[in-house]
Amino acid sequence: MSAATPLTDAEYLAKTRAMLDHIEAKIDTWLDSDVIDIDSHRSGGLLELSFAGGSKIILNTQAPLQELWMAAKAGGFHFRYVDGLWLDTKTGAEFLAMLAAQASAQGGKPLNFSV
């Protein structure tokens, strides 16, 4: 996998904040359109998504490492910013695609978090 793109602390915070804002906005749209019921709770750099049946996906910023972490039923994943994308440090999978796959599995219907 390619090396992480160097970011200043301010750039990292802006990019992770924008990503969490995007995810919350997508979920709000789904709730308004009665697509799926996902409860979201955000506290600073942590966003918790709760699904029917009690499963959760936890998204968490890791500023000292400049990573974005995801904990889901399938496991934990770490993402680094590389050439404009958040990529998994082990597989190279893109963050929003991985989030969509995990949320679809846990939500029981296809979900797409693309911009």
In a domain, 57, yes or no: yes
In a domain, 31, yes or no: yes
CA-wise closest residue to 62 among 71, 54, 53: 71
pTM of the shown model: 0.93
Largest CA distance in the chain: 40
Looking at every residue in the chain, the average pLDDT score rounds to: 93
Residue 82, domain extent:
9-106
Question: What CATH number should be reported for the domain holding residue 99?
Answer: 3.30.920.10
C-beta separation of 77 from 68 below 8 A: no
In a domain, 82, yes or no: yes
In a domain, 40, yes or no: yes
Query: Total domain count for the chain?
Result: 1
The sign of the torsion formed by the CA atoms of 113, 69, 95, 22 equals positive
The pLDDT of residue 46 is above 90: yes
In a domain, 3, yes or no: no
Residue 3: predicted pLDDT = 84
In a domain, 39, yes or no: yes
The pLDDT of residue 7 is above 90: yes
Q: What single-letter DSSP state applies at residue 28?
A: H
User: 86: part of which helix (H) or strand (E)?
Assistant: strand 85-88
